[in-house]
Amino acid sequence: MHISISNFLQRSRNYDASVTSKTHFRLNNQTLVTVHGPGVIEFEPVGGGDSFIYSCGIHGNETAPIEICDELVQDILKEELLLCHRVLVIFGNLDAMNKQTRFIDENLNRLFCNTHKEGIQNNERRRAAFLEQCVEDFYAKDKGEVKRVHYDLHTAIRKSINDKFAVYPYTHGKAYSLEQLAVMSACGVNTILLSHSSTATFSYYSSHFFNANSFTVELGKVMPFGQNDMTKFEKVNTTLRHLITSNDNNPEFNSEGMVLYRVNQNIIKNQADFTLHFGSDAPNFTGFQKGEIIASETGKEYIAEKGGEAIVFPNADVPIGQRALLTVVPISINELDTI
């Protein structure tokens, strides 16, 4: 292993001199390694292949995906994994990891798609700009017609009735990929939330600007470093590795067990007294009866419009003007335009 980037993640979190500037070298198996800077490392095997991005730690306390990607990087560097495809691995918010918190100044996953340019600069805004550039540079090196993939790996603030789920970024009318839904199923992710609008998330950025097959993948609940039960992520780990080490990586879609939701309401916090009308222990995808009050604030009550309408990503503590929760309703795969 190249001595300068052994234990790449730890060196990145320490801003070690070995990872703070762009460097290139080859492994013994001729894989070209590019360190773009702290927390961003690229691998290109001889022959190139498709282009995969695995990102994690966009929120610094979402540790399971960080541990999955850390082990993946170490195994590639030790040449225990022989790649068939190009891979960019991103450890997002290093400062927040070091403080074991979601973010330092701002939610990094609200700052992509050039949103980072719109306010007072801080570490998260600078990091978003850097990560955007890394993605652009990575996809710019594609050789011919290749498949572009980006899985942005997270864990949720609260538990979910469906322990693992993924958000499919808004497609602007483009067909949904059955192959990619099959990949999610292989990861043990059988609940898919179809986004209904443009956002400033990392997965939407790569999907919209680079036509990547992108998902925000939620893998259980936030836990401290070292306290994750990694047996819960065996399917995810196995699938992520298979995708980049095999040319036979196009699973067949089977709708059995797959649950799809569409967004029904996007509820924004407009007043300081915004209140959720359910307990802090209510898991994601908790359902409500039609007419039940879900949340309220001065001058407004938010009510379930349909029977079985469920809540996702509730957070009353967001700043005024940001999304406080989504409500979702089930949708059949037969209602979608798919390829």
Residue 27, pLDDT score: 95
Mean pLDDT of the region 87-98: 98
Residue 193's pLDDT band (cuts 50, 70, 90): very high
pLDDT, tens digit, for every residue of 239-254?
999 999 999 888 889 8
Contacts of 61 (CB under 8 A, 6+ apart): 96, 97, 100, 101, 102, 222, 224
CATH topology of domain 264-333: OB fold (Dihydrolipoamide Acetyltransferase, E2P) (2.40.50)
Domain segments of the chain as ranges: 3-245, 264-333
Mean pLDDT of the region 310-330: 94
Residue 234, pLDDT score: 97
Residue 119, pLDDT score: 86
Q: φ and ψ at 114, to 5 degrees?
A: 70, 10
Residue at token pair 């979601």: 102
Mark whether 218 is an active-site residue: yes
Mean pLDDT of the region 303-318: 94
Percent over 70 (pLDDT), the chain: 99
pLDDT, tens digit, for every residue of 272-293?
999 999 998 899 999 999 999 9
Cα torsion through 245, 250, 251, 253, rounded to 10? 150
DSSP string of 118-175, one letter each residue: SS---HHHHHHHHHHHHHHHHHHT--SS--EEEEEEEEESS-BSSSEEEEE---TTPP
The CATH classification number of 3-245 equals 3.40.630.10
pLDDT, tens digit, for every residue of 8-29?
999 999 999 999 999 999 999 9
Catalytic residue among 106, 132, 218, 297: 218
Cα torsion through 33, 25, 112, 164, rounded to 10? 20
Contact 107, 62 (CB under 8 A): no
Percent over 90 (pLDDT), the chain: 89
Contact 294, 325 (CB under 8 A): yes
Residue 88's pLDDT band (cuts 50, 70, 90): very high
What global pTM score does this model have?
A: 0.94
Mean pLDDT of the region 194-209: 97
Residue 3's pLDDT band (cuts 50, 70, 90): very low
- CA–CA distance, 166 with 188 (Å, rounded to integer): 10
- CA–CA distance, 279 with 293 (Å, rounded to integer): 13
Residue 1, pLDDT score: 46
Residue 5's pLDDT band (cuts 50, 70, 90): low
pLDDT, tens digit, for every residue of 95-126?
999 999 999 999 999 999 999 999 899 999 99
Q: φ and ψ at 30, to 5 degrees?
A: 75, 10
pLDDT, tens digit, for every residue of 140-166?
999 889 999 999 999 988 888 888 999
